[in-house]
Structure 1
Amino acid sequence: MENNKTLYTSFTKLALKVAMSKGLTLLKAKDIVIRKFELHPFEEMIIGLIDDNKLIKKEINTLLNECISVCEDFGPDRDYVTLIIVLDRINKVKPAKKGSNEIANQVLITFKEKIEEINTRIESPPLFNVLLETRSVVEWVSMFGIYPFIPKHKASKNRPVLLMPPYLGNDLSTTFVRNYLRSVGFKTYKWELGVNMINSKSLPKLIEKLDEIFEKHQEKVSLVGWSGGGIFAKIIANRHPDKVEQLITIGSPVWGVKNMKTPVVRSLEFLRGRKLKERNDKFIKELEEIPDVPVTCIYTKTDGLLPWKHCMEAETLRKDIKNIEVFGSHCGMGANASVLLTVANSLNTNITGKKPEGIITKVESLFFPEFWEQKGISKFTNLFFS
């Protein structure tokens, strides 16, 4: 929260100045900024910052440079897109005076360009993570023994879920995830398109499948995509939010793909027969958009194939966007007990609005990085006592 407070204090000053540059009074500017942050996870903190009159004493260019400097210090982050969206919303507010929109436009353009530049600096996974990918063999083999003991929180909804495999994977890749989801009460569907080559030509067939499942159940369909499958799932969720219940990605690059650095880039180019830079621009542009459905992104910081920051969505944009870290390799995420639990629990929580409860759920938290990031012995006592 301290990092967020530093960033949002700087940004709030800038946002107020941008609103005032459109000829608005301080009072009106505050009202506009607060409304543009409506439903934001840090809304309460931002309102508190806006109440501080000291925030708006500096010139707009100084505030812009200070905010960009804070972003550069924190480094690449998908959450900066939230700031761009808020500035864009303020920019669209009708100016109080004619010709007073130029400053707001220029601030938005400059801020967006700088953020895009900062976000190209995400490094390729380190060699150590690449070598750790060999553990995926152990993860897949051991899952056969572990699977029967994974807790099952019954959903009993028979809600439809369409699963999409990773790049170079097929429906066999999602076997454990599909079996687990069925065991807790979901109706699962394969993608049935053979090996996933992340070809945009697969989209029409996937959309046809979505339509068929939607018509059959007469209710929205949840999409679950692993790695390259998550790319398709996100684009479909963007195109058809009226038919998609929610989106869950597993180690999927959900933004910044055009400049993404990966150690397997040469092998991917060899298999595709052309440079990765020569991508479908429309496809990439759609991937950058954030769908208007609940989003859960599962990622691992020890991913050896993809930079993990590319696998996280802008959690600060809305309260229904979640990033959940797990332990494990990229290639082993389809046979990872934490992934199976997260997918099932997220699906059920987003549908029912209720999180799983009970001692089993608390014990499950031991297998997630979030638990071990807590400080002090209290993290253990809190397992059993509120």
Structure 2
Amino acid sequence: MPPYADAIASFWKGRLAGGSGAVERPAISHLLRNASMPLDLGRTRTQAASLAAQIRGDGRQLLLLPGLLASEHRMEPMRAILEAAGYRAHGWGMGRNFGPRADTLEQIDRRVDEIRRSSGGAVTLIGWSLGGLFAREYAKFARAKVGGVVTMGTPFSGDPRANHAWRIYQLVSGFPVDRPPFTCRREEKPSVPTAALWSRRDGVIMPDCARGRSGERDHAIEVDCTHMGFAVAPEGILAVGHALETMRG
């Protein structure tokens, strides 16, 4: 049994018991549609060459940060397509994302420095869900090293409990969802170009929380996919390519 199975069981026990407070969350029907991830992944594998041809890479260094309980393996199809399109895309090298730790930003900083040793230029961060929160906070932590931030279904705006993931986050990380172990100003926009990908069909995160408000991000790009689809569906990968174009200098 995977190490996070108990956390997931506790999460669903809490859901069936009636939830917490009056915070609005996505409809359960949308949440269940995330089960289409294997089909989305199959479409991406079949269309990989075509997807790469539709993205105009420019050699920029990219760092991909996975979501809660995901490893960089989950983002490998996106990384491979971005590489084939002409970007230099890298995994984060930190294993499975079990939530924030006191030294998370320092660990990302070491990975960014490794990437920069081969180019000397800034690194653009692409973060899925919780990985997007890490990306935004790291861009404030090390502004000179970051060329831009793309978030995918990341709840950087509004109530941190307006989603179906916050209980799992707390169980896995051991920290309250509104008190991570490092300085975090979720709604404050990093002083680098930012693009927020969001979906009405997300199912895990409330769309408004991932879209953000004016002043919290530079661009908001709607994507027709589920929350899991941001990382593996053709629509999610093409949207990342579009977001990177908005940051092209």
Q: Give TM-score, length-normalised by structure 2.
A: 0.82
Distance 1:262 1:345, change over 3 A: closer
Match of 1:224 in 2: 126
Instruction: Go from structure 1 to structure 2 and tell me whether the alpha carbon gap of 1:276 and 1:156 turns closer, same or farther (over 3 Å shift).
Output: closer
- Aligned counterparts of 1:348 and 1:214: Cα–Cα separation in 2: 21
Q: Report the CA distance between 1:151 and its aligned residue.
A: 5.5
- Map 1:226-265 onto structure 2 (within 5 A): 226-256=128-158, 259-265=160-166
Q: How does 1:58-97 map to 2 (within 5 A)?
A: none
The residue type equivalent to 1:240 in the other structure is A
Give me the CA root mean square deviation: 2.4
CA distance 1:312–1:271, shift in 2 (3 Å): same
Gaps of 5+ in 1: 1-119, 353-386
Q: Deviations over 1:261-318 (max 9, x none)?
A: 32344444333456545x227533x32321111111111111111112111233x339
2:109 to 207, 221, 224: 207
1:280 equivalenced with 2:177 (yes/no): no
Matched position secondary structure for 1:242? helix
Identity %: 23
Indicate how the Cα distance of structure 1 residues 214 and 151 shifts in structure 2: closer, same or farther if over 3 A, else same: closer
Q: Which residue of structure 1 aligns with residue 247 of structure 2?
A: 350
Within the candidate set 85, 94, 98, 1:197 is matched to 98
Query: Distance in 1 between the 2:163 and 2:48 partners?
Result: 31
What is the one-letter code of the residue matched to 1:290? Answer: K
* 1:295 has 2:194 as partner: yes
CA distance in 1, matches of 2:206, 2:225: 14
Q: CA deviation at 1:218?
A: 1.6
Given that 2:68 and 2:129 are in contact with CA atoms closer than 8 Å, whether structure 1 keeps it comes out as yes
Per mean C-alpha deviation after superposition, the further-off stretch among 144-153 and 241-250 is 144-153
Matches within 5 A, 1:1-386: 123-150=24-51, 152-153=53-54, 155=56, 157-200=58-101, 201-256=103-158, 259-273=160-174, 275-276=176-177, 279-280=179-180, 282-284=182-184, 286-314=185-213, 316-317=214-215, 321-352=218-249
User: 2 CA distance for matches of 1:191 and 1:294?
Assistant: 20
Shift of 1:154: 5.7
Shift of the 272–221 alpha-carbon distance from structure 1 to 2, 3 Å rule, reads closer
Report the TM-score, using the length of structure 1 for normalisation: 0.54
Tell which structure's C-alpha radius of gyration is larger.
1
Letter in 2 for 1:317: G
Secondary structure in structure 2 of the residue aligned to 1:287 = coil
Deviation (angstroms), 1:142: 2.8
CA spacing shift, 1:266–1:205, aligned 2, 3 Å: closer
CA separation of 1:289/1:264 partners in 2, compared to 1, >3 Å: closer, same or farther?
A: closer
Q: Is the 8 A contact 2:100 2:181 kept in 1?
A: no
> When the two structures are aligned, how many residues end up with a matched partner?
228
| Aligned equivalents of 1:137, 1:159: Cα separation in 2 | 29
List runs of 5+ in structure 2 lacking aligned partners.
Answer: 1-20
Contact 2:150–2:195 (Cα < 8 Å) also in 1: yes
* Aligned-partner SS, 2:126: strand
The alpha-carbon distance between structure 1 residues 181 and 166, as it changes in their structure 2 partners (threshold 3 A), is same
For residues 73-127 of structure 1, what are the alpha-carbon distances to aligned partners after superposition, in whole Å with 9 as ceiling and x for unaligned?
A: xxxxxxxxxxxxxxxxxxxxxxxxxxxxxxxxxxxxxxxxxxxxxxx98611112
Amino acid in the other structure paired with 2:122: K
Deviations 1:52-87 (A, max 9, x none): xxxxxxxxxxxxxxxxxxxxxxxxxxxxxxxxxxxx
Instruction: Quote the Cα distance in structure 1 between the aligned partners of 2:170 and 2:119.
Output: 40
